[in-house]
Structure 1
Amino acid sequence: MDIYLPIAGLSVNALMIIGLGGAVGFLTGLIGVGGGFLTTPILIFYGIPPAVAVASSTTQITGTSVSGVLAHRRRKGVDYRMGAVIIAGGVLGATLGGFLFRFLQGSGQIDTAIAILYVLLLGSIGFLMAREASTALGFIKRKDAQSKKKPRHNPLIASLPMRWRFYRSGLYISPLAPLALGFVSGILTVLLGVGGGFIVVPAMIYLLGMSANVVVGTSLLQILFVTGATTLIHATTTKSVDIVLATLLLIGSVVGAQFGVRLAQKAKPELLRLFLAIICLGVALRMALGLGWRPSEIYTVQLL
């Protein structure tokens, strides 16, 4: 069943796009990370223009993060003060990212920039995740534990001025650190169509030292608002949001996430992380080949 995407300017198989959303939603529920960093490159592989793939992915992420925030709110797993600071930084970053996106789009380099950023991002994340999962599974020998106890948060962050108390997170740190974290996440959200959770969550744990029971809920809260702002920025500036594409992805991801959550309760977490790492490395390799591999025919003619 073909359907026309008005912004992308091409016809696609609706069931294929719903299936793609379902697969990404399945991974989201299975592994517990947002699927935006996989949705965008897979859409590009399918033939969707990179700018449209990025803008439409953020719209999908906005919709799927609502239910997650509500679920964590019911069990008091959200630090609203911390979330507000990260959201403020995220909105500022998204605004700057919108100008960068528009500049790259105007110069004709947006497709190349997106591909390069994804190769670097997915390659590094996939490598680190594969190493951590392999160590946990015993494939790589674990180093002896250090005798000194590590500080709860990074010493540089602990030295920043103007400390605030974040009671739900159990922290007394400067708001400048989460503000900067949100700023970086906002830029990546606009340029790559990702929610930023795969960067924000580890940073919350290992850099800020947040309590584990509020990390996921607070991350989802900032994703909800930052991707919402990003969708608005793309809709008003780059004009790249394809609501038909986003709706099809959303339908599939909502259904797929339910099956992923069920399987996640039975599978071993380390194997799931290793599985995701392999996917990330595979997608990064495919995008790297697309950057350097010369096609047999440089120009093609399409009859409409």
Structure 2
Amino acid sequence: MQLFLPIADIPVNVFLILAMGAAVGFVSGMFGVGGGFLMTPLLIFIGIAPGVAVASVASHMAASSFSGALSYWRKRAIDPMLALVLLCGGVSGTALGVWVFALLRSVGQLDLMIALSYVVLLTAVGTLMFLEGLRAIMRARTGATTIKRRARAQGWVLSLPLKMRFKRSKIYLSAIPIVGIGLLVGFLGAIMGIGGSFLLIPLMIYILRVPTSTVIGTALVLTLTTMVVATVLHAVTNHLVDAVLALVLMVGGVIGAQFGAQAGQRIRGEHLRLLLGLLILSVGIRFAVELVIRPDELYSIRDLGGGG
């Protein structure tokens, strides 16, 4: 059954979009990540313009993050002060990202920038996660044990000024790296259409040493807020948010996430990291291949207007 997308301006198979939403929802439920890093490339691969894919996935990410953030809030697994400091950088980064997005679109370089961003980020993160998961599996097979380090932030983080006490997370840190991480994640989310959890959570754990008891819920608050801001700004400035596409993706995502969460509980942690690393790496490689292969049509006509 064909469904016409008014903003993307193309007809798509509604069952294909539902299946994509369910598949990404399954991955999100299994690995505990937002799935924007996978949803945006899939939409681009089926012919949806990168700008529309990024803007529409932002609204999908906001909706999918809301229920998760609400659940963690009820469990008191969110650090409100840490989330507030992250949002100071996250909202600013999102606004900056949307501005750069509009600028790149006006000069006709948006598609290339999105593709290059995915190639660099996903291949790097995917390779690191794959190697880390592989090392964990090898340690488990050989019976080797790792030396547990004291849960303290990196030395250079501890030396920074403007320190704050975050009671829920029981940490005492400078606000500077927290705002910087929020700025980075917000910027990448606006440019690439990703929630950033797969990048934000490792940064918070390994650099800031935020306890796992509050890190996921706090990350979801940042994802929810930045994606709402990105959706509004993209809709107002770029007019690229396709509400029909986002709605169909949400329906599929909610269904797939339920099955993914059940499957994730049956797989060991190191195997999950290995699989997620492979998945992220494969998407990055696919983007790299798309950049170097010869297209069927060497020239295309496209509206470069920034206002839609």
When the two structures are superposed, what TM-score results if normalisation uses the length of structure 1? 0.94
Partner amino acid for 1:43?
L
Q: Match of 1:195?
A: 195
CA offset at residue 297 of structure 1? 3.9
Report the 3-state secondary structure (helix = DSSP H, G, I; strand = E; otherwise coil) of the residue aligned with 2:165.
strand
1:145-194: CA deviations, max 9, x gaps?
A: 579x5661011111111211100111111111111110011100100000
Q: Match of 2:73?
A: 73
The correspondence of residues 246-261 of structure 1 with structure 2, limited to 5 A, is: 246-261=246-261
CA distance in 2, matches of 1:156, 1:111: 37
Q: Match of 2:127?
A: 127
CA distance in 1, matches of 2:117, 2:142: 31
CA offset at residue 269 of structure 1? 2.1
Q: Match of 2:306?
A: none
Contact 1:51–1:110, Cα closer than 8 Å, also in 2? yes
Contact 1:135–1:142, Cα closer than 8 Å, also in 2? no
C-alpha change, 1:136 and 1:58, in structure 2 (3 Å) is same
The correspondence of residues 136-151 of structure 1 with structure 2, limited to 5 A, is: 136-138=136-138, 149=149
The correspondence of residues 277-292 of structure 1 with structure 2, limited to 5 A, is: 277-292=277-292
CA distance in 2, matches of 1:172, 1:134: 33
The correspondence of residues 220-299 of structure 1 with structure 2, limited to 5 A, is: 220-299=220-299
Q: Match of 1:23?
A: 23
Match status 1:53 vs 2:53: yes
CA distance in 1, matches of 2:238, 2:142: 49
Report the 3-state secondary structure (helix = DSSP H, G, I; strand = E; otherwise coil) of the residue aligned with 2:8.
coil
Q: Percent identity?
A: 41
CA distance in 1, matches of 2:168, 2:284: 37
Structure 1 unpaired stretches of 5+: none
CA distance in 1, matches of 2:9, 2:183: 32
Partner amino acid for 2:209?
G
1:177-219: CA deviations, max 9, x gaps?
A: 1111100111001000000111110111111111110000000
CA distance in 2, matches of 1:57, 1:93: 18
Q: Match of 1:167?
A: 167
1:17-69: CA deviations, max 9, x gaps?
A: 01101000000001111100010011100100000000011100000011101
Question: What value does the CA root-mean-square deviation take over the aligned residues?
Answer: 1.9
Contact 1:130–1:274, Cα closer than 8 Å, also in 2? yes
Q: Match of 2:35?
A: 35
CA offset at residue 223 of structure 1? 0.6
CA distance in 2, matches of 1:141, 1:121: 32
Q: Match of 1:117?
A: 117
Partner amino acid for 2:267?
A
C-alpha change, 1:293 and 1:174, in structure 2 (3 Å) is same
Report the 3-state secondary structure (helix = DSSP H, G, I; strand = E; otherwise coil) of the residue aligned with 2:207.
helix
Contact 1:96–1:187, Cα closer than 8 Å, also in 2? yes
C-alpha change, 1:142 and 1:131, in structure 2 (3 Å) is farther
Contact 1:160–1:176, Cα closer than 8 Å, also in 2? yes
1:113-167: CA deviations, max 9, x gaps?
A: 00000001110111001001101111898998579x5661011111111211100
Would you identify which runs of 4 or more consecutive aligned residues in structure 1 move more than 4 Å?
139-147
Match status 1:99 vs 2:63: no
Report the 3-state secondary structure (helix = DSSP H, G, I; strand = E; otherwise coil) of the residue aligned with 1:208.
coil
When the two structures are superposed, what TM-score results if normalisation uses the length of structure 2? 0.93
CA distance in 1, matches of 2:119, 2:182: 22
CA distance in 2, matches of 1:32, 1:208: 20
Partner amino acid for 1:190?
A
